[in-house]
Amino acid sequence: MSGTASITKNRARGARRPDLRVIGPLVALVVLVLIGMALNPNFLSYANITNVLARSAFIGIIAIGMTFVITAGGLDLSVGSMAAFVAGLMILVMNLLAGSMGDGLAVLLLGVALALLAGLAAGFINGVLITRAGIEAFILTLGTMGIYRSLVTWLADGGTLSLGYQLRELYRPVYYGGLFGISWPIIVFALLAVLGEVVMRHTAFGRHCAAIGSNEKVARYSSVAVARVKLATYAILGLLVGIAVVMYVPRLGSASATTGLLWELEAIAAVIIGGTLLKGGFGRVWGTVVGVLILSLIGNLLNLTDFVSPYLNGAIQGVVIILAVVLQRNTGAAR
Amino acid sequence: MKKTLIATTALIGLCAGPALAETIGISIPAATHGWAGALNFHAERTVERLKAANPDLDFVLTTTSDPGQQVSDLEDMVATRNIDALVVLPFESEPLTAPVQRIAESGVWVTVVDRGLSQEGIENLYVAGDNDSFGRTAGKYFADTLEDGAKVVVMRGIASTVDNERVAGFQAALEGSGIEVLAMDHANWNRDNAFNLMQDYLSRFPEIDAVWAADDDQAVGALAAIEQAGREGEMIVVGGAGMKEMVDRIRNGDKAVPVNVTYPPSMISTAIEMTALGLTGAAPMSGEFILTSELITPENADKFYFEDSPY
């Protein structure tokens, strides 16, 4: 009995010794970069790096929010479908507005505002049902996952919702344009990651999330507003889904029933690879960013080479995910 | 093996329905991607039209997104709706074979669409697209128009027998043409995956003359990536299945998208209509009906453009 207690205590202390536990995902990332350099001279080219970072941004932005939800002991399986639904809704409304208001900037801004609001509202609904109605997060978000996926299929009439040509041209720079040669999705992702890390490390909200995740009852007795903080994590995640959608829609200007498929699992995987505990109580946003980069680098590397059969891509990704987590757990438990 | 059955005079049969109402059950995959969405669109439209034309016909239409659910749907149809005929697009061949066989043995007319069952001789009628011809038609276009030594990249769909047959047909058509296939990877019939894959192809190969995207959703993603890299005009993109945006680009003479290959989702209409004829008419309807993939060119594109279709 006391043996298990001391192990847990050591683990907890390990969390405060970053030099050991941090190393796993970073090693995996460095190894992947080295393999990439060996396999293809274009790997470190400006275009390739930009592509990989920009495509990571959607999952990355969502995964930042997921870090807070998981740290507070929750889970959200609905984010992929939610993104698809919000994207579909945004496109539909923008096309409708363009009919009466013309293809101006006003329509674009209304669309962006709608996406952010819809994301926030969807996250808020998840949060309210989990904290007030007391439904298990796993089950509730499994339910909303199905609801949003069906809604976007229904909105699109089984096909694809596409943004009108004029609006798409106007909106395009939000994904393809940028500042000083760095594209907008990367800039937004980086800013949100820094903001997330600061909130997690240096604010009462971040500490409350960790407190709730490690022991909800104790947190309640310590006068943490448990329900409100948990609700806030889901609402923030919803808002971040909205931001991700704002960056995603200008890329292909369309949304369909296959949009955002499995994003929830990729986001959760990134969070866990990055060192956040799945059972809650400890989270780090910068680790999540490393996790997201690992995931998209594997995909990129597999496309840059014919080294393995494409049928085995999923297996390679699985192995790297497991390795990253194993490296980190082992160093953590090594006391 | 593939006898092509041609039903030209059969429409007459529709008008001479029997006195008793006949029920046709239709089970197809849910509208989870563009092609399946169009499949649903054409199925619903055909049911409405046939109902209006023939009050003696009754229809049950179910859509499912996994094989297990589809088996349950079929059981429900037989148990509660007492269907006389079944039009089924099996989600997967293996798991659906035995259930459909049981239904066929109970005396129900069975029409199988597109994905065949894993055992021969169960269905009365088989209506399908031709995956080999889908790949072969695109490959033949490349072999005919590209120069010797031209470089091609291939985007495959979801790893499946459908995908394998298409790629085999494509490769067979390229044989001896001197065209070099640089790489083949899966983009899973998905725009986002195709966008990422094309970006990676573009950083990997400095010279690409043509892309076989093997599906129009993939072509959309590939075209966006090519445009982003500023390499328009260097290569052509050939998709497939006849998405209306692509057909529109072809008929407007877009240089990047010169042709397309059909794999019509409206084949479900063919199947439903022929089943209705088989039930109500006197003309023989059993056999196989294979729809060849046609090449859509600027000259014939108007024929393949459906304004109302979601795909």
Residue A20 pLDDT: 55
Overall pTM surpassing 0.80 (yes/no): yes
Strand positions, DSSP E, chain B: 22-29, 57-64, 85-88, 109-113, 125-129, 151-156, 180-186, 210-212, 236-238, 260-261, 287-291, 295-296
3-class DSSP assignment, residue B281: coil
CA distance A119 to chain B (A): 21
Q: Identify the DSSP state of A311.
A: G
Is a pLDDT exceeding 60 seen at residue A18?
A: no
Residue A103 pLDDT: 79
Q: Which residue would you say has higher pLDDT here, A180 or A86?
A: A86
Calculate what percentage of chain B has a pLDDT beyond 70.
Answer: 93
Report the residue from B30, B200, B309 with minimal CB separation from A304. Answer: B200
pLDDT, tens only, A184-207: 999 999 999 999 999 999 999 999
Banded model confidence at residue A330, pLDDT cuts 50, 70, 90: low
Residue type, B287: G
Q: Judged by CB atoms within 8 Å, which residues 133-192 of B form the interface with A?
A: 156, 159, 183-186, 190-192
Chain A residues lying within 8 Å of B37, measured CB to CB: 153, 156-160, 256-257
Banded model confidence at residue B100, pLDDT cuts 50, 70, 90: confident
CB proximity B35 to A under 8 Å: no
Highest mean pLDDT among A143-147, A307-311, B124-128, B143-147: A143-147
Lowest-pLDDT range of A115-124, A311-320, B193-202: A311-320
Question: With an 8 Å Cβ cutoff, are B183 and A313 in contact?
Answer: no
Banded model confidence at residue A2, pLDDT cuts 50, 70, 90: very low
Q: What is the ipTM of this complex?
A: 0.80
Q: Judged by CB atoms within 8 Å, which residues 237-296 of B form the interface with A?
A: 245
Residue B304 pLDDT: 84
Chain A residues lying within 8 Å of B31, measured CB to CB: 153, 157-159, 257
**Length of chain B (residues):** 311
Q: Judged by CB atoms within 8 Å, which residues 270-289 of A form the interface with B?
A: none
Task: Output the average pLDDT for chain B.
Answer: 85
Chain A residues lying within 8 Å of B228, measured CB to CB: 176
Question: With an 8 Å Cβ cutoff, are A251 and B36 in contact?
Answer: no
Chain A residues lying within 8 Å of B191, measured CB to CB: 252, 254, 256, 258
* Close Cβ partners of B90 (under 8 Å, ≥ 6 residues apart): B67, B70, B96, B97, B100, B112, B115, B116, B117
CA distance A251 to chain B (A): 8
Is a pLDDT exceeding 70 seen at residue A332?
A: no
Residue B7 pLDDT: 42
Is a pLDDT exceeding 80 seen at residue A123?
A: yes
Q: Are B158 and B119 in contact (CB under 8 A)?
A: no
Q: Which of A17, A33, A151 is nearest to A84 (CA)?
A: A151
- Share in percent of chain B as helix, strand, coil (round to 5): 45, 20, 40
Structure tokens at A334: 């090594």
| CA gap A269, A275 in Å, rounded | 10
Q: Which residue would you say has higher pLDDT here, A245 or B159?
A: A245
Banded model confidence at residue A19, pLDDT cuts 50, 70, 90: low
pLDDT, tens only, B201-212: 999 999 999 999
Banded model confidence at residue A329, pLDDT cuts 50, 70, 90: low
Residue B20 pLDDT: 60
Residue B221 pLDDT: 93
Residue A56 pLDDT: 93
Q: Which residue would you say has higher pLDDT here, B287 or A231?
A: A231
Compute the C-alpha angle A52/A54/A59, nearest 5°.
95
Minimum Cα–Cα distance from B36: chain A residue? A158
Report the residue from A55, A156, A157 with minimal CB separation from B196. Answer: A55
Interchain CB contacts (distance < 8 Å): A and B: 100
| CA gap A236, A283 in Å, rounded | 16
HEC states along B53-89? Answer: HCCCEEEEEEEECCHHHHHHHHHHHHHHHCCCEEEEC
* Residue of A58, A149, A151, A157 for testing the chain B interface, max B β-carbons within 10 Å: A157
Chain A residues lying within 8 Å of B229, measured CB to CB: 47
* Residue of B39, B156, B182, B191 for testing the chain A interface, max A β-carbons within 10 Å: B191
Over range B286-310, report the average pLDDT: 83
Instruction: Give strand pairing partners of B151.
Output: B180
Is a pLDDT exceeding 60 seen at residue A222?
A: yes
CB proximity A41 to B under 8 Å: no
pLDDT, tens only, B22-72: 888 899 988 777 788 888 888 999 999 998 888 888 898 988 878 888 888
Is a pLDDT exceeding 80 seen at residue A15?
A: no
Neighbours of A138 (CB within 10 A): 13
Report the residue from A47, A153, A162 with minimal CB separation from B31. Answer: A153
Over range B248-255, report the average pLDDT: 88
Give A60: exposed, middle or buried? Use CB within 10 Å, 0-12, 13-18, 19+. Answer: buried
Q: Which of B235, B237, B267 is nearest to B250 (CA)?
A: B237
Minimum Cα–Cα distance from A154: chain B residue? B31
Banded model confidence at residue A160, pLDDT cuts 50, 70, 90: confident
Chain B residues lying within 8 Å of A157, measured CB to CB: 31, 37, 41, 310
pLDDT, tens only, B171-220: 999 998 889 999 999 998 889 999 999 999 999 999 999 999 988 889 99
Residue B253 pLDDT: 85
Banded model confidence at residue A309, pLDDT cuts 50, 70, 90: confident
Residue B16 pLDDT: 41
Is a pLDDT exceeding 70 seen at residue A17?
A: no
Maximum Cα–Cα distance across chain B? 68
Task: Output the average pLDDT for chain A.
Answer: 88
In terms of DSSP bridges, do strands A160-162 and B109-113 run parallel, antiparallel, or are they unpaired? Answer: unpaired
Gyration radius of chain A over CA positions: 21
Chain A residues lying within 8 Å of B161, measured CB to CB: none
Is a pLDDT exceeding 90 seen at residue B225?
A: yes
Structure tokens at A279: 């059972």
Q: Are B255 and B293 in contact (CB under 8 A)?
A: no
CB proximity A302 to B under 8 Å: yes
Question: With an 8 Å Cβ cutoff, are B200 and A157 in contact?
Answer: no
Is a pLDDT exceeding 90 seen at residue A290?
A: yes
pLDDT, tens only, B101-110: 888 888 888 9
Banded model confidence at residue B283, pLDDT cuts 50, 70, 90: confident
